[in-house]
Structure 1
Amino acid sequence: MTPNRLEEAQSSKHIGDRGKLTSLLQKEWAASRDSERKLDLGLLLTDVLINQREWQRAKEVCQQLTGRYQRDSRPYLHLAVVNMMMAVETMLSPETATADDIEKMSKNAMDAWKEFKNKYELAKGSTESST
């Protein structure tokens, strides 16, 4: 096998392994009944999906997490990151994106960031008042 073919085979195997890991993590997250574990698995799954540039799937997980864990700022941070990455990718593809698309995605990203900051400040304030 030539070095290039070996490299291609290893790369394909690596991508396949990542897909299996993501699938296993998704199943574990969906099956978890423990609230803290479910949150941790969801955040980890979101990190993995972000690294794989699976923006829409990451966004869906974040939305489920923000709906369930409204007082925890971490899912909101992940959602803000995902929205910003989606906006940046749209901006970098001007041949397929309209100005309206770019404006809408940028607004979504800014709104998500503001929501994260609000949740973070609320959480920070509640921990400061309890100490």
Structure 2
Amino acid sequence: MTTVVVTARRDQSVAQVRAELAKQAEHRTEIDAVAVVNDQGRLVADVALFDLAVAEDTTTVGELTDWLAQFGPPVTVQPGTRIDRAAELLVAARVSSLLVIDDTGRPLGRILADDVLDTLLPERGRLHFRRFLQ
């Protein structure tokens, strides 16, 4: 799990979010989406980098999340979620990562698909240590 989570608010423009992503360039392998949070820091939506890439600069994050709502809520897990359950959710939702949220819905981190593979296939993975918080 990575604890690098880029967040945005509904009122931000896509250009503003892209600027924040540019500041996080050193974490490019750990970021595949942006968690949209409300004023209390609770998760509202999860916007994939692709959706940010193809959106107009002046589009608001709120407009993107309203459009994404048709596909259902973001796929999330709790810190104690078993690895096999995380793998099932990744496959079922056809996403490349899962947001890890606390009991109040605040993002804590993200489990990337390669984290799951590294854990399930440690002898084949590019990393030979567990990246999940225990």
TM-score > 0.5 by shorter chain: no
- Which TM-score applies when normalising by structure 1? 0.27
Structure (1/2) with the larger helix percentage: 1
Higher relative contact order, structure no. (Cα contacts within 8 Å, ≥ 6 residues apart): 2
- Which TM-score applies when normalising by structure 2? 0.27
Structure (1/2) with the larger strand percentage: 2
**Could you say which structure has the larger radius of gyration?**
1
